[in-house]
Amino acid sequence: MTTGRRVLVIGGLALATLGMLYGLHYAVFVEHQTLDRMGGSLAQAFLNAAGRNLPGAHQAIEAYASTKYDYVRQVDIHSHWIGLAMLLIILGAVFDQVALSPQAKTWIATSLVAGSFFFPLGVILQTISHGAEWASGLAIVGSATVTIALGAVVWGFARSGA
């Protein structure tokens, strides 16, 4: 088994396990509470408005938006880690058909694994500080790395006539 394939399969299995562990932890300890908080804030906003307390209603809407901002990203990290892990394992199985030098393939495999880890990590880090540029930057760099590396794989397939 070549180094590139090994990196992709090990990286994929590790990322799938990590994504599932995160999903299990999230489902058991976080999700229900987050959904309750989100629904509670929105209901509270309407109740405040019904009581003609508009500043309170606006505050509750802000709380709802903030919780939903976190919720969307927390769910995204689970699905993106597992989805990218599946892609890594599949590419590991067909990597011999990529017509590029072994060194280039090792770099591509490493980039795919690194990008697949850091892109969702950047997304979840946005919840620590909403709109944090460093977290968005990490997500952008991670996703760009995966996309460019996948483009290189497509090019390698095209060269081999696969």
Partner 1 sequence: MSTHVVSTNLTETFVPMSARRLLIFGGIALIAGGMLFGDIFAIFVLHQNGGQTGQALLAASEAVSAGNALAVKEAFQRIGGLLEDHGTKVDTHVHMTDAGYLALLLALIQPYVALPPRRKKLLAGLFIAGGLLLPVGIFLIHYIGLAYSPFSAIGWASVLADSAGAVLILVLIAEGYGFWLFLRGNDSGREPELPADRTWERRVLLSGGTLLILVGFLYGAWYAAVDLYRHEARETQILTNMLDSSAGGQGGAVVAVANYGSLAAERAVKIAAHSHLIEFGLLAMLLSFVQPYVGLSDRWKRRWVVMLLLGSVILPVFVLLEMNFGLVAGGIADVGGLLVIIALAGMLVGVLRYSGSLDLGDASS
Residues that bind partner 1 (CB under 8 A): 1, 6, 9-10, 12-14, 16-17, 20-21, 23-24, 27-28, 32-33, 36, 39, 42-43, 45-47, 49-52, 54, 57-58, 61-62, 64-65, 68-69, 79, 82-83, 86-87, 89-90, 92-94, 96-97, 139, 143-144, 146-147, 150-151, 153-154, 157-158, 161-162
Closest to 124 in 3D by CA, of 65, 50, 68, 72: 72
* Contacts of residue 48, Cβ cutoff 8 Å, sequence gap at least 6: 54, 56, 57, 59, 60
At its nearest, how many Å lie between partner 1 and the CB of residue 119? 10
Smallest separation (angstroms) from partner 1 to the CB of 60 = 9
Amino acid of residue 114? A
Q: Shortest gap between Cβ of 61 and partner 1 (angstroms)?
A: 5
Closest CB to partner 1 among residues 6, 107: 6
| 8 A C-beta contact, residue 89 and residue 9 | yes
Contact 125, 45 (CB under 8 A): no
Q: How far apart are CA 26 and CA 30, in angstroms?
A: 5
Minimum separation from the CB atom of position 153 to partner 1 (A)? 7
Closer residue to partner 1 (CB): 103 or 145: 145
Query: How many angstroms from the chain centroid is the CA of residue 159?
Result: 30
